[in-house]
Amino acid sequence: MSDDVPAPWALLAEVTHACPLHCPYCSNPLDLVPRRAELAAEEWARVFREAADLGVVQAHVSGGEPLLRRDLAKIVAEAHRSGVYTQLVTSGLGLTAPRLEALLAAGLNSVQLSLQDARRPGSDLIAGRPSYTAKERAARVIRAAGVPFGLNVVLHRHNLDHLEEIIEVGARWGADRIELANAQFYGWALRNRAALLPTRAQLDRAKATVAARGAGGPELVWVMPDYYEGVPKPCMGGWGARSITVGPDGTALPCPAAYAIPDLAFPSVREKPLAWIWAASPAFNAYRGTGWMAEPCRGCPRREIDFGGCRCQAHALTGDAARTDPACSLSPDHHLVRDPASAADRAAPCPTDFVYRHPAAPSHARP
Amino acid sequence: MPDDADWRPVLNRSIVLRYDHIRDADLLLMPERAVRLSGQGGHVLRLCDGRRTVADIIAELAEAFPDAPLADEVPAFLDRIRAEGWLR
């Protein structure tokens, strides 16, 4: 590996895009990878080994729903064997006590469970199917196993006002940590932006709720919303700086949303060693560092803080991934986030006619 | 919290202590986080097995580091790691 490329810390392993849930803000790409194209457990073994050799110390075994892989315990065992700290990221559907026991025996270190809202109707509405009861059950199984337990809740217009109750549910279910992940608007979420974008007042109340939370109870992690802040988020800690995503078919990306950037040829771990992908591939170098920047990023004192924001958002909104993230108030394209944000502030009540996430399937198969 | 004389420190179950040969550093790994330990932090924490008392740990380190101010530094370090919730 070339000396000036820092070692990656984390690997997001999307072992399948199949999922029982249909959340309208899904972070998977619009074109889901079909099951027949998925990497086999033996291929994942090589990916984990190569990742660990590069410096990766954390693996997030995610999806879709990773529990839909019957060979998941084998995949987890391979991650563990490579020496990385291994976390399962799950909807909870299918997480029985024996299943978790087998994963823990394979070396699993921690579990992150998703929750869509504090109460059943809201949670099931977003998930696009009954799933709250299964999540409650999964939380009990995780808690009983004594494994570190994180809860992940994507926040948006329809659940931000329930934040206090969401935190209470997390505490009641025994979560050690609650990640409050404000929806990021690309891919599926961009398609559903009008229905999901919160008002500024909602976000202000939510921030106050988090700030007022004293010590004790689950640790809260607030993932910043970027439509109202005027500064972009330091997405992924910089392009090709900390993290590698490997999709179900072995496509390697600097970020799980990057599938949508069409002019980058993302390499596959089926064809290239991960060390070359990380250090030398054109895709991972395209927006690495600050050399690719134009104004206003190039001369900005924040360029090493937020790295010009999110490349995927720049591409999704302007068609050019090399432009300043429109979330930045200095971006000439800032109206592309300001206008929808103002519209969200005016629109009431808010529609719930979501476009649910589904594989490209005959329309009669959709709910 | 136990009386420190009886305290037999051990890392919490959610924490993994690992030497990282790429970065030539000891790391504490936990959900969503990796903490790089400086100096002899890893050396000290490897002795925290839930059986040794703090005095045992200091005595053992004294063999390797006879001139270090262990009696002050080791308890202070262990307290810091405990305050983070990584040691019990």
User: Cα separations (Å) of A244 from A60, A126, A241, A361?
Assistant: 10, 28, 9, 29
B18 and A83: CB-CB below 8 Å? Answer: yes
Structure tokens at A56: 């990766």
Rounded to an integer, what distance in angstroms lies between the CA atom of residue A207 and that of residue A184?
A: 17
Residue B34, domain member (yes or no): yes
Question: Residue A41 in contact with residue A80, Cβ under 8 Å?
Answer: no
For the CA atoms of chain A, what is the radius of gyration?
Answer: 20
Q: Please report, for residues A22, A75, A234, A332, B20, the alpha-carbon distance to residue A57 in angstroms, rounded to integers and kept in the order given.
A: 31, 16, 21, 39, 8
Distance CA A8, CA A10 (A): 6
State which residues form the domain around B25: 16-83
- By the CB < 8 Å criterion, does A222 face chain B? no
Q: Is residue B8 part of a domain?
A: no
Q: Is the pTM of this model over 0.90?
A: yes
Beta carbons of A125 and A352 less than 8 angstroms apart: yes
Residue B2 domain-assigned (yes or no): no
Spatial strand order in the sheet of B25-30? B16-20, B25-30, B33-37
Contact (CB<8Å) B23/A55: yes
Which positions of chain A have pLDDT values less than 50?
1-2, 362-367
Number of domains in chain B: 1
Contact A55 B32 (CB under 8 A): no
Please state whether beta strands A149-155 and A243-246 pair in parallel, antiparallel, or not at all (unpaired): unpaired
| Cβ pair B16, B29 in contact under 8 A | yes
A85/B14 CB distance under 8 A: no
SS3 per-residue string spanning B25-71: EEEEEECCEEEEECCCHHHHHHCCECCCCHHHHHHHHHHHCCCCCHH
Q: Which residue of A has its CA nearest to B12?
A: A148
Which pair of structure tokens corresponds to residue A198? Answer: 């919160």
Residue-level pLDDT at A245: 98
Interface contact flag, B14 A83, Cβ < 8 Å: no
Apex CA A314: angle with CA A57 and CA A1, to 5°?
A: 35
In a domain, B4, yes or no: no
Q: Which of A145, A65, A143 is nearest to A104 (CA)?
A: A145
B30: chain A residues, CB-CB within 8 Å? 85, 110, 148
CB of A239 within 8 A of CB of A266? no
Contact criterion met (CB below 8 Å) for B10 and B87: yes
- Tell me the HSE value of A328 on the side-chain side, using a 13 A CA sphere: 25
B30 in any annotated domain: yes
A114 to chain B, any CB pair closer than 8 A? The answer is no
| pLDDT 10s digits, B28-75 | 999 989 999 988 999 999 999 999 999 999 999 999 888 889 999 999
For residue B50, being part of any structural domain is answered with yes
Going by C-beta distance under 8 Å and a sequence separation of 6 or more, which residues neighbour residue A76? A61, A86, A88, A103, A106, A107, A108
pLDDT of residue A3: 56
Give the residue from B22, B26, B28, B86 with the most A CB atoms within 10 Å of its CB, the best one to mutate: B22
B20 in A contact zone (CB under 8 Å): yes
Residue recorded with tokens 């910043």: A224
Q: Do A85 and B23 touch (CB under 8 A)?
A: no
The verdict on residue B7 lying in a domain is: no
The pLDDT of residue A363 is 42
**In-domain check, residue B88:** no
Give the pLDDT score at B3: 61
Interchain CB contact of B36 with A (< 8 Å): no
pLDDT for position A364: 42
Q: How far apart are CA A284 and CA A267, in angstroms?
A: 9
Q: Three-class SS of residue A110?
A: strand
Strand order across the beta sheet in which A110-115 lies: A219-223, A177-182, A149-155, A110-115, A85-90, A58-62, A10-14, A243-246, A252-253
